[in-house]
Amino acid sequence: MPRYRTCVPTALLALDLDGTLIGPDTQPPPGLLDELRAWQLGGAHVAVITARGRLPPLLRDWPLHSVSRCYGAWLRCEGRVLWERTLPTTAVHAALGALTPTERGGRCKTLIVTPDPRGILRHTDPDFEDRWPHAPAPLKVVHGQPDADRLDGLQAQWAAIPGAQVIRERRDRLVLVAAGAGKGEALRDLATHLGVPAARTWAAGDGPADAAMLPHARTFLRVGAHPALHAAHLSAPGPADVPPVLARCRADALGCRA
């Protein structure tokens, strides 16, 4: 990552990763990295805000100033970690306590992501029940299963847990993060840290969790057609179409020729 700059960036560009910048092949589309470099050369701060528990190795070679994982629970800016918003131990106890014994195994999947980049505890680990209470305070808890109706009820239970918030981007998966650890808060707080107002912020995403960034951006690019992002200002069919749209946004944001 570039060295920390004391000057205020000319703009902030905050981007979701999966489904927005990369597809199932996990490779950036042609022109994307060149476009991100062009934003940087124009003085913009470029950030990726992803739901992933682990940052993929491919990001090491990307021109980025900031990266957030687990939605907005963890963020590294200019080479240093700005925050780790972890779940209270009581919230994790409550979330796991809401699961039936059957839901802790079988076709159900439960995992806990800790601040350690390698720290993922899975329900299939033989010592999961003994280990997780002694692990560092987690960034998120994930539970997936095929019974969507049951997840509807479980979502209501998790939503009532103090100090936590539920994110559900898929019908077969629930995610629990700390209160204030969503993508919207991550974008807002990063912009405040950098001194960049919402009027100088551009963002992009493809799923319902990305909708939280809409109020904190002057322009939001919807990738795909998820209805939760109906209020987006621009749209692109898929990741391959993102670079040229970002180039047009750059012309508006930085006064650069696209």
Q: Are 177 and 165 in contact (CB under 8 A)?
A: yes
Q: Which of 91, 135, 146, 98 is nearest to 113 (CA)?
A: 135
pLDDT tier for residue 241 given thresholds of 50, 70 and 90: very high
pLDDT above 70 for 48? yes
Q: Which amino acid is at 134?
A: H
CA–CA dist 94, 88 (Å, integer): 10
pLDDT of res. 56: 92
Summarised one tens digit per residue, pLDDT across range 108-123 is 899 999 998 777 888 8
pLDDT of res. 8: 87
Mean pLDDT of the 24-28 span: 91
pLDDT above 70 for 6? no
Q: Are 87 and 139 in contact (CB under 8 A)?
A: yes
Q: Which of 16, 125, 2 is nearest to 68 (CA)?
A: 16
pLDDT of res. 135: 80
pLDDT of res. 96: 93
Q: Are 43 and 9 in contact (CB under 8 A)?
A: yes
pLDDT above 60 for 203? yes
pLDDT above 70 for 2? no
Q: Which of 73, 67, 72, 71 is nearest to 55 (CA)?
A: 67
pLDDT of res. 134: 80
Q: Which of 32, 3, 30 is nearest to 204 (CA)?
A: 32
Mean pLDDT of the 25-29 span: 92
Q: Are 205 and 233 in contact (CB under 8 A)?
A: no
Summarised one tens digit per residue, pLDDT across range 59-76 is 999 999 999 999 999 999
Q: Mean pLDDT, the chain, as a whole number? A: 92
pLDDT of res. 119: 79
pLDDT tier for residue 206 given thresholds of 50, 70 and 90: very high
